[in-house]
Amino acid sequence: MTTTTSSPATATLPPLAELQQAYAELKARGLALDLTRGKPSAEQLDLAEPMLALPGVGQHTDDTGTDTRNYGGLDGGLAIRRIFAELLDVPVEQLLAGGNASLTLMHDVVAYAELFGFPESPTPWAREETVRWICPVPGYDRHFTICEALGIEMIPVPMTADGPDAEAVAALVADDPTIKGMWVVPTYSNPDGAVVTEDVARALVSMPAAAPDFRILWDNAYAVHHLTDDEVTSPNVLALAERAGNPDRVLLFASTSKITFAGAGVSFLASSPANLAWYKKHLSAASIGPDKINHLRHALFFGSAEGVREHMRRHREILAPKFEAVVQILAERLGAYGVASWTEPKGGYFVSLDVAPGTASRVVELAKEAGIALTPAGATHPYGKDPENRNVRLAPSMPPLEEVRTAMDGVATCVLLAAAEAGSAR
Ligand code: PMP
């Protein structure tokens, strides 16, 4: 469960003219700051710098005797799969290691379903009149892009502090065979930091679905990305699905993008033996094998699952102060006025800020004009449309701490001004 701060108003907003003056001063500073995307900072990337010397000249054979320089091995390197099987709590035989982007794996799974269908699909999805998909909101914009790119209609359902609203999802999928799947980010979700509880996970894997080929794309991108001592883990969803009699319902994804190098990490796919066989059958037409040298490089760098956990604690030392600054500045600058609420995540890469209804796009616009780039308003909703126009995703990982502070102070000024403008227009 993630904490959301929304204190009741104890003070009235400062007068509009005063806020306009504060904003003019902010603009006059000529800032150029960026809180748009959840990228690791250079300091975080430096933590993995020694990896650039691995595996090293002459070190190309892995511990199964495979020459990693050559073709082959669609499953990926065993050593890195062993490490991540432990971290993701899945059997190693049910885990594949792939290229550098889990997003590509997700895209390809949906694209293969469109082209060929899953084994139990009545027909390839592309031949269906309508294919629909459940998108918990606020959510990750690139998930929505995959749906849009592949012609899938999106149905928003609310996120709760315990994950997607499982009752709403169950009611939708029970009678509608056009709903073929849903997104879930189970740990420290993007953007609101929610962690799926065991009850929610169990409900999602057991609910009856009208579509025989209903799938959950379980994107565990932030499985080990803790910001506090409370290193939470999300439920063992593959085991729960199997126990519920729906072993093929879930495909689990993860990557080291925000562990080692965002552009040169390793992606993972875990699922039932039937889904993996299906995936590999189609993948084998596209690839003779993944980059096993990168798999070996990662395995040598980490050594063990504990090596990954240790490494992530060093990330936390860099990231936690930035998240603390965001939350502290929001509380100091906005807390008294009751015009905004925000999450206090225990992990992941984002703070989700809800501003006065109807003002999110104005906040982003004001910030932009003051030289502070924010993720576009609406990005956390399908089709870029936040019906209440109130959610803003904050991504404080990339800029140095002082810049995060400056940017957040500026964002707070924009939130107050937008709320006052909206109030005076009423
Ligand atoms: N899933 C989520 C929820 C993310 O937030 C991100 C990165 N912003 C990704 C996937 C991207 O993962 P990858 O780099 O492995 O493609």
pLDDT, one tens digit per residue, over 171-218 is 999 999 999 999 999 999 999 999 999 999 999 999 999 999 999 999
Ligand 1 atom closest to 185 (CA): 3
Q: Distance, CA 255 to ligand 1 centroid (Å)?
A: 8
User: Is 3 a residue whose pLDDT tops 70?
Assistant: no
Bridging pattern class, strands 95-97 and 267-270: antiparallel
User: Is 44 a residue whose pLDDT tops 80?
Assistant: yes
Ligand 1 atom closest to 262 (CA): 14
pLDDT digits (tens, 9 = 90+) for 339-368: 999 999 999 999 999 999 999 999 999 999
Rounded to the nearest integer, the mean pLDDT of the chain is 96
Is any ligand 1 atom within 6 A of the Cβ of residue 260? no
Question: According to DSSP H, which parts of 41-179 are helical?
Answer: 42-47, 78-88, 102-116, 141-149, 166-175
Tokens standing for residue 310: 């240790």
Give, using CA atoms, the residue closest to atom 5 of ligand 1.
Answer: 190
Structure ipTM: 0.99
pLDDT above 70 coverage of the chain, percent: 98
pLDDT value, residue 333: 97
User: Up-side HSE of residue 262: CA atoms within 13 Å toward CB?
Assistant: 14
Ligand 1 atom closest to 258 (CA): 14
pLDDT (mean) for 101-109: 98
The torsion region of residue 30 among left (phi > 0), alpha (psi -120 to 50) and beta comes to left
| Nearest Cα to Cα of residue 382 among 160, 170, 182, 162 | 182
Give the sheet arrangement for strand 163-164, strand by strand: 95-97, 267-270, 250-255, 215-219, 179-184, 132-137, 153-160, 163-164
Is any ligand 1 atom within 6 A of the Cβ of residue 379? no
Is any ligand 1 atom within 6 A of the Cβ of residue 100? no
The CA distance from 254 to 252, in Å, is 7
Residue 6: pLDDT band with limits 50, 70, 90: low
- Determine phi and psi for 145, rounding to 5 degrees: -65, -40
Is any ligand 1 atom within 6 A of the Cβ of residue 221? yes
| Nearest Cα to Cα of residue 392 among 347, 343, 337, 338 | 343
Ligand 1 atom closest to 348 (CA): 5
Give, using CA atoms, the residue closest to atom 6 of ligand 1.
Answer: 221
Query: Which of 190, 291, 352, 375 has most ligand 1 atoms within 8 Å of its beta carbon, as the pocket-test mutant?
Result: 190
Is any ligand 1 atom within 6 A of the Cβ of residue 380? no
Q: Distance, CA 192 to ligand 1 centroid (Å)?
A: 15
pLDDT value, residue 224: 98
Is any ligand 1 atom within 6 A of the Cβ of residue 102? yes
Give, using CA atoms, the residue closest to atom 2 of ligand 1.
Answer: 221
| Nearest Cα to Cα of residue 394 among 358, 357, 340 | 340
SS3 346: coil
Q: Distance, CA 60 to ligand 1 centroid (Å)?
A: 29
Residue 7: pLDDT band with limits 50, 70, 90: low
